Amino acid sequence: MTNPYAPPQAAVLDIADPRALTVPADRLTRLGAAILDGIIFGVMVYLPLFMTVGAAAAVGEEGAGPVVFIGFGLTFVGLIAWIWLTVLYVQRNGQSIAKKITGIKVVRSDGSPISLGRIFWLRNVVNSLISIIPLYGLIDVLFIFGETQQCLHDKIADTIVIKD
């Protein structure tokens, strides 16, 4: 006989763990994306700046005014374009420009999408502030060789990098 005062019973189907659907990005791809991001930033921002300095030195003191004005304008446009593309890709899919190219993205450690604020504040601002500590940058990167393949900034922001 069943107990009429027992709590209701229901069949609970197993729900797939979102982490099981994610494949971690390999370390070499993450390194390549970081290097590529640096190159992209350099081409978009530093290259026009260095070309400006070189051109201003070549034309001499008298003709440098317009060259410097145009060069700094191009540098500013490059910086704005880089910021716009980075924010656009991060908001859409947790990717930087290079992560988009290499087919990897940043998500929360439970597999859910990441917010722009979490990437900006925890992965970038907090990590930059902590990097004042000597050797932190090296320690941060070496954490990728742990079992979870998370750098220290990933652990701070509760994120993982996966294949897209």
Domain ranges of the chain: 23-163
Residue of 161, 140, 152 whose CA lies nearest to 32? 161
102, exposed or middle or buried, with CB in 10 Å at 0-12, 13-18, 19+? buried
The pLDDT score that the predictor gives to residue 85 is: 96
Residue of 120, 110, 100, 117 whose CA lies nearest to 158? 110
The pLDDT score that the predictor gives to residue 18 is: 56
- Mean pLDDT, the chain, rounded, equals 92
| pLDDT tens sequence across 43-97 | 999 999 999 999 988 888 888 889 999 999 999 999 999 999 999 999 999 999 9
Q: How confident is the model at residue 15 (pLDDT cuts 50, 70, 90)?
A: low
Residue of 145, 160, 138 whose CA lies nearest to 24? 160
SS (H, E, C) the chain: CCCCCCCCCCCCCCCCCHHHHCCECCHHHHHHHHHHHHHHHHHHHHHHHHHHHHHHHHHHHHHHHHHHHHHHHHHHHHHHHHHHHHHHHHHHHCCCHHHHHHCEEEEECCCCECCHHHHHHHHHHHHHHHCCCCCHHHHHHHHHHCCCCCCHHHHHHCEEEEEC
The pLDDT score that the predictor gives to residue 20 is: 61
The pLDDT score that the predictor gives to residue 39 is: 98
61, exposed or middle or buried, with CB in 10 Å at 0-12, 13-18, 19+? exposed
The average pLDDT across 16-44 equals 89
Residue with the larger pLDDT of the pair 1 and 122: 122
Specify the pTM. 0.82
